[in-house]
Amino acid sequence: MIRKGFTRQRSSTRKHKTMDLENTRDEFAEMYHRAYHGFGPDAVYNVDETGFYYDMPPKCIWSVKGGEPKIATGEKHSLRMTAVLTVKADGTKLPILFIIRGSPGGRIASNDLPTYTRGHFYAVQEKAWMNNTVWRAYLRSVLADAIDEPSVILLDNFESRVMAPFKRYLRDEWLAEEIIDGEDGDDFDTPTAAEKRMAMIKRAILAWDRVSASEIRRSFEKAIPAPAANIEQP
């Protein structure tokens, strides 16, 4: 296929220059260590969010050689929700907040939410986005119970760090998932939206359980590396 002008590439929506990303990371790390050097790893949190779909997009696609591997919006399934993931620099994970698309106070909130897996948190928003209302509820329901000392909350995107293993495990769970029967029990029946939402939640919880403390600690070390002067020489 390469001779025909195509290469096999990992799909993405956009690409940034590695040098630009590294410069941004280094600038942020310098600012962080200058302002928050007194906070220990048990008092540093990262809150990040990621959207995911019932039908996950392909991991690799065939792309014109020299071109950027992109997925059209139409290739993503319309059933989407957001997972808000919070971790501490010491490797601790907090429960997931799932933001589900729907009308606040509507049927999903009243009928479906009580059936979802306990130990995690759920919110309903028109577009499955984190808005001010959902954020305030998250602060009260999740972070307020977890924080018991002065802490730093980073709303920084660790996409290539914490999210990478989570999305990898999420894809593994999707591939391993058995066919979901429709309401009539026929394998060829299309699952209802409620069944799909339940499957997505269970899939994400299994993936989150697989993210290890060492992976989380490494993500902080890579995202906000210590200044060179503070690194011990072997």
* Count of CA atoms in the C-beta half-sphere (13 A) of 128: 17
Q: Which residue ranges of the chain lie beneath pLDDT 70?
A: 1-21, 56-78, 156-161, 178-189, 228-234
The total number of structural domains that make up the chain: 1
Classify residue 71: in a domain, yes or no.
Answer: no
Supply 148's token pair.
């018991």
CB 128 within 8 A of CB 80: yes
What's the pLDDT score for residue 124? 96
Identify the pLDDT of residue 23.
Answer: 76
Q: Where are the beta strands (DSSP E) in the chain?
A: 6-10, 44-53, 60-64, 80-88, 97-101, 121-125, 152-154
Domain extent at residue 174: 45-58+76-225
The answer to whether residue 52 sits within a structural domain is yes
CA pair distance 23, 29, nearest whole angstrom: 10
| Amino acid 73: pLDDT | 44
- The pLDDT value given to residue 135: 93
pLDDT of residue 180: 57
Instruction: Count CA atoms closer than 13 A to 5's CA, side-chain side.
Output: 2
Instruction: Look at residue 28 and tell me if it is in a domain.
Output: no
Bridge-partner residues for 100, per DSSP? Answer: 81, 124
Residues belonging to the chain: 234
The pTM of this model reads: 0.76
pLDDT tens digits, one per residue of 183-212: 555 554 578 999 999 999 999 999 999 999
